[in-house]
A and B are shown apart, each in its own frame.
Chain A
Amino acid sequence: MALLQISEPGMASAPHEQHLAVGIDLGTTNSLVATVRSGVATVLSDAHGRRLLPSVVRYHADGKVDVGYPAQAKAAVDPKNTIVSVKRFMGRGLKDVAHLESAPYDFVDAPGMVQLCTAAGIKSPVEVSAEILRVLRERAEQSLGGSLAGAVITVPAYFDDAQRQATKDAGRIAGLNVLRLLNEPTAAAIAYGLDNAAEGLYAVYDLGGGTFDLSILKLSRGVFEVVATSGDSMLGGDDFDQRVFCWAVEQAKLPPLGPRDTRLLQMKAREAKEHLTFHGEAPITAKLSTGELVDLVLDTETFGSISQTLVQKTLVPLRKALRDAGLTADDVKGVVMVGGATRMPQVQRAVAEFFRRDPLNNLDPDKVVALGAAMQANVLAGNKPQGEDWLLLDVIPLSLGLETMGGLAEKVIPRNTTIPAAKAQEFTTFKDGQTAMSFHVVQGERELVSDCRSLARFELRGIPPMAAGAARIRVTFQVDADGLLSVSAREATTGAEASVTVKPSYGLGDADIERMLRDSFEHAKEDVHARALAEAAVDGQRLLHATRSALDADKGLLSLEEFEVIEGAMKHLEARLAGADHRAIKQATEALGRATDDFAGRRMDEGIRRALAGKKIGSL
C-alpha cells in the first residue's frame, strides 16, 4: 500500500515549487527580459524603471564594460569601442556582413565568425552579446531574488545553424542555463494566441532592427504549430536608417565621413525615421566634426520612396512562406505585427494591401517576443501542470545538406521540416581501397554549394579497404528542438569501425568558450566558484526533483534492485548537495543521470503505449 507523503510546511518541495525562469529577447536594437509572475507575463525593468536595454556595449581600455543606455550615450563619441547592432555579426564571416563600409569598427577576419578590435582587446560578437545577456540575467536575479533555473532566448526564425549556435554560446558565457532557443515569431504567436484565444491560421510579420521573419502558424487549443517560415536575416529597421543616412549624405553633398560623424548622422537618421511614424515630416540636424552643419527636412513621401524597395523585399519571403504552406493570402485569418520597425506606416500599408485586411497591432511590438519567451520558459521550467501547458511544433527555416560531386548541394533535411528531425543518407567510396571520406555540411536553398552557408567540414577515417562502391557510409543529420544540427558518419558494413560526430561551432571551440567564460567573470568581479557551485546545485536539484516525480509516477516499471540503485544515487547526490564542492555535486548528478538512463527510456515507451491504449479504447 502506498503511503501518503506529507512534507513539513515551508519545506514543501516537488510539485508546487516554482523555478525561476525568464524569457530573453536578444534584439538587434534593444533587448528585454521577462518572466511569469503569479500567472502573468511581465517585462522586468532596471533600477530606473526602464524596460528596454539598448543592445549597445562599450569597451574601455581598462577592461570596464558599459552596457545599455550609458554605452548608447557615448556611441557617437567613441564609435570604434561602442558596438551597436552586434546581432548582425553573430555567426557571420566578414564577407556576409552588409554595410561594412559604414560600420565604424576595426574588423578582424577570423575563421567562421568576424571579430571586433576594441580598446579592451579583440572581441567576438558572442562575447559582446554575452555582455548584454549578463546584464539581463543580473536584472532578473535581482528582481526575482534568486538564481535563475533557466532562460529561453529568442532568435530570428530565419537564423541559420551558425547564428543559433553563436546565440546559445553567448547564453552560456553569460552564465545562463539556456532551456531553449525559441524563434521570435513563434514567441510572438504564443503571446498573441494565449492573450486572444486565437484559433486558425495566422501569419506573424516580424520586422526587427536587423532581421525579418515571416512565419505562418496554425493555432488551436493547446497547440502552436509552425506551418512554414521564411525571412531575410539581413533586412531590418537598420536598413531603413541606412537609406535615410545615404539620402542625407547625398542631399547635404557631404564628403566621405569619419567614424564619429557617420555614427552621429546614423543616429539622427534613426530619430527621423521614428519621428515620421507620427508626423508628416522630420528634421535632420547635426553639427559635424568639420564644423559643417547638416540641416535637412525629410517628409513622409520621400521616406516612402527611398525605402520602397525595402518594403517590397519583405513581400518576397511572405509569398514564399505561403507557397511552402500551400496557402493563399485569403486563407490567413490574421497578421500579427511584431518588431519596432512595423510601426512605420508604409510597412503597415504594404501588409494591409497584401492580405487585404488590417494587420493586428494590439500587442506592443517591442515586448511581445519577450513576453512569449517568458511564457515558454515558464512551461519548460516545469512550472505549469500538464493540461495547462501547450505543445509547440516548430520547423527549420533553411534546408540542410551535403556537398556532392561537382560542388552541388544535396538536401538531406528540407526547410520547413518539423523539429526535432533526423535523416540518414548512405554514401559509398569512389576508389578501390579508399580509407577516408570527407564531408561538407551546408545550409541553404541554392543548388551550388558556393551559394549556401558552409557549416562544417569533417573527415571519416579508418574505413576498411574495399572495392570502390562496396563500403556503406551512413551519414545521419540530427536537428534538436533548438534547431541545432549534429552530424555523424559511420561505416555500416563493418559496424562501429569508423565513426565521427560533429557539432558545427564556427571557430569557437570548447576551450574558447571556457576562456570567454573566465574573462567575463573576471571583469564582472563575480566569484567563479560561487557561480559554479550555484549552477551545479541547480542542475543537481533539478535532476533530483525530476527523478522523484518520475519515481512517483512510474515506480512500477522498475524491479526492486533497480529502484534501490536509483535511490542510492539520489541519496548520494543529496549528501553532496549539502556540501560546497561543485565538482562532487556534478559527479553525483552525472551518476544519478546514468542510473536513470534506462528508466527514462522505459518511461517514454510507456508514455507511447498509454497514448495508443487510449486510442484503442476510444475507437471501440
Chain B
Amino acid sequence: MSAGAAKALTSSGLHSHFELFGLSPAFALDAEALERSYRDIQSRVHPDRFAHAGDAERRASLQWTTRVNEAYRTLKSPVQRAKHLLELRGVDVAFETNTQMPADFLMQQLELREALESATGRKDAAALDALRSSLSLSRKVLEKQIGEAIDVGKDYPGAAELVRKLMFLERLDAEIDSAYEEIE
C-alpha cells in the first residue's frame, strides 16, 4: 500500500478489510455480499470514473482503488483472510519464521511432492488432474476446520497452525501449476 493510500485509510477511519466492505469480521464469508460491496465501492472510486478529472482526483482514485483491490484480494483468499483475522485478534502469526509442523503432516506432504515429481517426469496430465482434485478436497476440509477454530472455538493458536498447513497446500498447488506448464 502506498503512503497516500495509508493516509486515506486512516483519514476515513477504517481499520480492517472487513469494515471497508461493511462485513462483520469472520472467517465464514458471504462471498456474494463481498462481491456486491466491492463492485459498489469500485464503481465510485475506480480510475475510469476520473479519467477526465484533475490530477488530484486521479491520484486519490488510484490510491483508493489500489486499497480496495488489496482488501478484496485478501478476503477472497482463505489463507490471507485467516491471517488478517488472526492479526486483528492480536495473534502474532509469524508464518515466515515458525515452520514447525507435526511429523505426520510433513510425511504426507513429502509423499504428495513425490507423487507430483513422478507425474511430471511421466508427463502424466491425468495424474496431475487427480492430484489437484484430491488437493482441492483437503483444502476444503482445512478451510472448514479453520472456520470452526476462529469463528466458533476462538482457538487462535490452533487456527494459526491450520493456516500454516493450508499454506503448504497452496504452495503445492502452485507447484502443480508449474508442472502443467513444464509438461506442455
Indicate which residue in A319, A546, A598, A608 contacts B54 across the interface (CB closer than 8 Å): A546
- Determine if A546 and B52 form an interchain contact, defined as CB atoms under 8 angstroms apart: yes
Q: Which residue of A lies closest to B19 (CB)?
A: A612
- Determine if B1 and A608 form an interchain contact, defined as CB atoms under 8 angstroms apart: no
- Determine if A608 and B2 form an interchain contact, defined as CB atoms under 8 angstroms apart: no
- Determine if B180 and A319 form an interchain contact, defined as CB atoms under 8 angstroms apart: yes
Q: Which residue of A lies closest to B174 (CB)?
A: A414
Indicate which residue in A478, A594, A609 contacts B2 across the interface (CB closer than 8 Å): A478
Indicate which residue in B40, B49, B61, B62 contacts A611 across the interface (CB closer than 8 Å): B40
- Number of residues in B with C-beta < 8 Å to the partner? 44
Q: Which residue of B lies closest to A619 (CB)?
A: B22
**23 pairs, CB–CB < 8 Å, chain A vs chain B:** A150-B52, A179-B52, A380-B48, A393-B42, A420-B69, A421-B69, A421-B70, A422-B70, A423-B70, A481-B46, A481-B47, A481-B48, A542-B52, A543-B54, A547-B54, A594-B56, A596-B54, A598-B56, A600-B60, A601-B56, A601-B60, A608-B20, A615-B22
Q: Which residue of B lies closest to A613 (CB)?
A: B22
Q: Does A599 contact B (CB under 8 A)?
A: yes
Indicate which residue in A180, A320, A419 contacts B181 across the interface (CB closer than 8 Å): A320
Indicate which residue in A478, A542, A608 contacts B44 across the interface (CB closer than 8 Å): A608
Which 8 pairs of residues, A with B, have the shortest CB-CB distance? A615-B22, A380-B51, A600-B56, A597-B56, A600-B57, A481-B47, A607-B44, A604-B60
Indicate which residue in B39, B62, B70, B181 contacts A480 across the interface (CB closer than 8 Å): B62
- The docked-state distance in angstroms from the alpha carbon of A316 to that of B54 is 43
Q: Which residue of A lies closest to B176 (CB)?
A: A323
- Determine if B177 and A592 form an interchain contact, defined as CB atoms under 8 angstroms apart: no
- Determine if A616 and B47 form an interchain contact, defined as CB atoms under 8 angstroms apart: no
- Determine if B55 and A593 form an interchain contact, defined as CB atoms under 8 angstroms apart: yes
- Determine if A419 and B56 form an interchain contact, defined as CB atoms under 8 angstroms apart: no
Given A481-B47, A600-B59, list of 16 further CB < 8 A pairs?
A320-B180, A376-B48, A380-B51, A381-B51, A382-B52, A392-B48, A393-B42, A421-B66, A478-B66, A546-B53, A598-B56, A599-B56, A604-B45, A604-B57, A611-B37, A614-B40
**Chain A residues near B54 (CB-CB < 8 A):** 542-543, 546-547, 592-593, 596, 600
Smallest CB separation, A612 vs chain B (Å)? 5
Smallest CB separation, A580 vs chain B (Å)? 23
- The docked-state distance in angstroms from the alpha carbon of A114 to that of B63 is 35
**Chain A residues near B41 (CB-CB < 8 A):** 607-608, 611
**Chain A residues near B8 (CB-CB < 8 A):** 601, 604-605
Among A385-412, those with CB < 8 Å from B are: 386, 389, 391-393
